[in-house]
Amino acid sequence: MVKALSDYKQAKDLLLDAAAVLSQIAEERSDQGLAQRINIFCNKVESATFNLAVVGEFKRGKSTLVNALIGDNLLPMAVIPLTSIATIIAYGSKTHIAVRFQNHHSIEITKEELPNYVTESGNPKNEKLVSSVEIEHNASLLKDGVRLIDTPGVGSAFQHNTTTTYDYLPEIDAAIFLFSADQPASQLELAFLKDVHQFAPRTFLVQNKIDHLSPEELEQSLNFLKQTIADQIQCQPVIYPISAKLALNKRLNNAVAEISDGFDVLEHDILTFLVEGKAQTLIASSSARLSKEVASTKQLLQLEQHSRKQPLELLRQAITNFGLAADKIRQEQTDAEYIIYGETANLLRQIEDDLKKFVEEHKTGLVAVIEEAYQSNKDLDKGALIKALREQLFKQMQSIFDQWRTVEEEIVTASFQRITMRFAERANLIVEQISQASREHLGIEAAAHFEVEPLTTDSRHRYAVDDPFTLAVESLPLMLPSLLAKPIIHSRFLTAASAELSRNSGRLRADFQERISKTTRDFLAKFKAQVVVSLAEIKSTAERAMTKENQTKEENLIIDEQLAAQIVRLAQAEQLCQKSLI
């Protein structure tokens, strides 16, 4: 089990050493497929990412804390709500800043230009349509794939900032949640903390700005925050009191703080978690994946060894017989694919039926809420009334469908897992047939492995509510006096309530359909590639042995010795994989 940062790095190096053995063998055998797979493996191990997000209400010092963690005055800081765009900081040998736009274009900017894109003053309401800002920095914390994300604050006057932060929650692996020592935790903060807990396996609770209070005031504030959070999460929380401002100043100027900034304890625990949490998972999964590749390669080499000992005529007939068996296996593979297509089509129909029923059940209630909102706001002017009704409609849409989506997500995930497992049973039979055909016709087993893909969580769904008065012809009633226009506004929004339920139902159905279809395509493509590659590798390995008839006795001896040496090296690679887990 990985216990320290040095252990993790050592384990990772062991895996990369084992991968290097396979890479060298691939080069010696001109095996481009193996070389490509090992290259992908190494890239994944070396660049595995872990998203550590800094979150909280506006003006809690999130950007200052990020700057302290990387030891650089990089992100803009101010006394007004500032950050409006999620800023992602990853490791790089030198500072490099890229702005990604919603149209998928990107530009490179300087550090001085950064406020023009990530701040509310430089990019009000994200009028520049920035998707994210990605920064490379050489901070040691970011090595080994850690990415720091500075998110906009929730609860400010800028609703789009809150939306941006909530949109990013599914992407995080761990969170640093900031409270402020000089302000009690608000109900909004506590509600947001609950939401963060749903996505982040680990959340570090931080009370920032301790330099604003006296020791007595700080003790009272900390005790109050602990009790407030304990009441919410039903257990005693661990809270880190810090001053991000003093910690940043200490790092920038090598200064000694007059009071303890508490930062070292927080940083130590974050690093420990990154090592023990992230590293164990990464090393275990990577070791298992590489071990399978080593075993498969070893079997192919042993197959070639065995084939080289066979008389040429027998070997030639064996290859022909294996080819015939391979044709049957490929046909069975095609037949098996219809299973998952049929099952997923049934699942999508079930989702559509569930949504239709759900929409019908909530139409009356939604219309009643909009009616109540109209009666409460009918004394407003026409523009303010439309705004109030649209905001209420959007709020209700989120509330209604979030409830359905939470339940349906669990049902769909479980159903899809059952479908893929059922297919996997057929798939594993096909994989076993490959091994059996190899064993029966070529004299030695060459096994393959198959893995089930989970339903993708990469959702692009967003709720949307149209303005019933967007088109020019639709806006004509607004030119009427309020006495005449307001009944029209009333009627339009009552009609829009049902229409928006149906429209957002369609958006949700499309989201599930896209995700299920994508997972199914990826699932089948992976399996088809598995079968094709396995059959091709086994046949080409046996055919490789046929070249012995064109070689001299001395050349064949060299090849036999090389094969034996490669098998020994693969055994060493197996040991390295096992050692990486210690």
- The pLDDT assigned to 331 comes to 82
Locate the domains of the chain by residue range: 48-261, 309-550
Instruction: Flag whether pLDDT at 6 surpasses 70.
Output: no
Q: Across the strands, what pairs with 88?
A: 134, 149
In the CATH hierarchy, which fold is given to the domain comprising 48-261?
Rossmann fold (3.40.50)
Asked whether 280 and 2 are in contact (CB, 8 A), the reply is yes
Asked whether 420 and 523 are in contact (CB, 8 A), the reply is yes
Joined together, the tokens standing for residue 78 give 């101010």
**Which DSSP string corresponds to 362-389?**
HHHHHHHHHHHHHHHHTTS-HHHHHHHH
Span 488-519, pLDDT tens digits = 888 888 888 888 888 878 877 887 787 777 77
Q: What is the mean pLDDT of residues 356-373?
A: 86
Q: Across the strands, what pairs with 55?
A: 177
Q: What share of the chain is helix, strand, coil (3-state, %, to 5)?
A: 70, 10, 20
Residue 203's φ and ψ, nearest 5 degrees, are: -125, 125
Span 548-574, pLDDT tens digits = 888 888 888 999 999 999 999 999 999
Span 101-119, pLDDT tens digits = 888 888 998 888 888 888 7
- The pLDDT assigned to 2 comes to 42
Instruction: Flag whether pLDDT at 531 surpasses 90.
Output: no
Three-class SS of 150-217 = ECCCECCCCHHHHHHHHHHHHHCCEEEEEEECCCCCCHHHHHHHHHHHHHCCEEEEEEECHHHCCHHH
Instruction: Flag whether pLDDT at 249 surpasses 80.
Output: yes
- The pLDDT assigned to 94 comes to 87
State the virtual CA torsion across 415, 418, 419, 421 in degrees, nearest 10.
160
- The pLDDT assigned to 23 comes to 94
Poorest-pLDDT segment among 165-169, 245-249, 342-346, 496-500: 165-169
Residue with tokens 């019933």, as numbered in its chain: 468
258 SS3 class: coil
Instruction: Flag whether pLDDT at 84 surpasses 80.
Output: no
Q: How many CB atoms within 10 Å of residue 340?
A: 22
